[in-house]
Amino acid sequence: MIPIVAVMTTAGGFRSMTAMYGSLLGLQKLNLLDCISYVTGLSGTTWTMINLYGDANWTKRNLEETISDVRKHVMKNKLCCFSGEKLKYYEKEMCQRYQEGHKVSFSDLWGLLLESMLTDEPDPQKLSDQQQAINMGQNPFPIYLGLNVRKRYSTLDFKAMSQVMLLEEWMECTPYEVGFLKYGAFIKAEDFGSEFFMGRMMKKIPESRLSYLQDEDIPPIVPKRRYVQPTNLYVPSGTLTNVLRDVITLRPVLAHYYNFMKGLHLNNKYLENDSFRTWKDTVLDSVPNQLTDTEEYLELVDTACFINTSCPPLLRPERKVDVILHLNYSGGSQLLPLDLSTKYYAEQGIPFPKVVLTEEDREHLKECYVFDEVENPKAPILVYMPLVCDTFQNYKAPGVERSPSEIEEGQANVTSTIFSPYATGMIQYSEANFNKLVNLTNYNILNNEHMILQALRTAVDRKKHQKSLFTSS
């Protein structure tokens, strides 16, 4: 009985992009990449995925060669992305995109800038092109996660109301389809961005290059609020006021795409239909005027604006995921995204293992934890790997101690959000810092091989037990 295994990653800009390469390298060295059925990502880890899935056989290649190529782009001076020649290229691309029928916004420019930061030449790859990398089952199935927000709310309003009114709308993007987990509504990947009404395509618009689809994943460099002064809220009308309010309340860059659900009115009994994802965040749909179907455009942001996770698609019951390798690359608290996720799943009634940690563990995190709720067989086994620099400080490889001259290579300040060379807003690393981060996440995988394998063995035993119960009945 083969368990279904998934790798789940989190946001973090260049930090998460770089760290993911190291983790995948470790899994490749352990010959575990062939055991993985799904890979999910957001923010910087989607940049890793976009690069990898441009190669139809990437899991069979030596990832060290890929990492070597990525290293030079992370190290290069990003001022080259603002040269006169590049600016002319951006203008030409934006004009062409507008002529094709897309709604052009500042987020599209971000996508082009990011493309220049990470590649030498424009990348023609589209989401549907990645079908070539999975049509023979040769690589894990990639899932990109976004979040649709309502334009009448600022991000802080939306974040607060999501916890009370459950307005969040997870959007899942794969090489085959794009759609909402909330409504169970999907369209072909190549049709995403086209204009729809009542489920029919009204205007075919060329599929966007992936460079544009990654634009909402750039983390804005903004100060965090230190306090909130109690006061009454007065919101004057006007376009300029709305823009200023968005900036002041830290609303991130939005990506705009035609709403393929426009004109659809869901039956008031759709929650009774098993084909829909009946999480509790569908309760609001009993109010027709609150449905996404009334909006002209979708407004997509990084899901880290709500919870820094790409896990929801893996919890669809039809995917039957047995083991999730939760690779956390967050800045600051390594437990906050997991705690928020666990609370959210509990509120939604989604099977997920309980996260139980001692106070000592919460103060000094280890490299790997396994959470398994035996009494809840529908919950996956969670292998949680925070981004910590623990035994790596003294060991350059599992069981191989560092010499005095190598101690510096094990010092990686990976979680500080301000003073670390890996802060989320950093877009250029030195060669030494890039190597440290890749080596760290690679080491953390290799050093915890026994825990990963034990989780897989437990999943195998559980499936055998479930099969025996089924056959005996």
Q: Would you put residue 399 in left (φ > 0), alpha (ψ -120 to 50) or beta?
A: left
Which H or E element spans position 186? strand 185-188
Tell me phi and psi for residue 291, to 5 degrees.
-70, 150
Q: Are 176 and 43 in contact (CB under 8 A)?
A: no
Q: 173: buried, middle or exposed (CB in 10 Å: 19+, 13-18, 0-12)?
A: buried
Asked, for residue 405, whether it belongs to a domain, the answer is: yes
As for how many domains the chain has, the answer is 1
CATH number at residue 407: 3.40.1090.10
What pLDDT does residue 220 have? 37
pLDDT one-digit tens code per residue, 427-453: 999 999 999 999 999 999 999 999 999
pLDDT one-digit tens code per residue, 350-386: 999 999 999 999 999 999 999 999 888 899 999 999 9
Structure tokens at 55: 């190669």
Share of the chain above pLDDT 90, in %: 61
Tell me phi and psi for residue 28, to 5 degrees.
-65, -40
Asked, for residue 349, whether it belongs to a domain, the answer is: yes
Tell me the C-alpha to C-alpha distance, in Å, between residue 231 and each of 135, 228, 234, 248, 379: 56, 9, 9, 16, 43
Asked, for residue 143, whether it belongs to a domain, the answer is: no
Asked, for residue 72, whether it belongs to a domain, the answer is: no
For residues 138 and 148, what is the distance between their CA atoms, to the nearest angstrom?
Answer: 31
Asked, for residue 49, whether it belongs to a domain, the answer is: no
Residue 197 DSSP code: E
Catalytic machinery residues: 43, 302
pLDDT one-digit tens code per residue, 141-152: 999 998 887 654
Residue 416: pLDDT band with limits 50, 70, 90: confident
**HEC string of 373-391?**
CCCCCCCCEEEEECCCCCH
Asked, for residue 119, whether it belongs to a domain, the answer is: no
Tell me the C-alpha to C-alpha distance, in Å, between residue 276 and each of 162, 342, 410: 20, 22, 48
Structure tokens at 159: 């974040």
Boundaries of domain holding 436: 1-41+308-473
Above 80 in pLDDT, residue 2? yes
For residues 132 and 110, what is the distance between their CA atoms, to the nearest angstrom?
Answer: 27
Residue carrying the six token digits 């979680």? 415
All residues at 6 or more sequence positions from 166 whose CB lies less than 8 Å from its CB, including other chains: 280, 281, 283, 284
Residue carrying the six token digits 């799904």? 38
What pLDDT does residue 74 have? 97
Asked, for residue 321, whether it belongs to a domain, the answer is: yes
Asked, for residue 340, whether it belongs to a domain, the answer is: yes
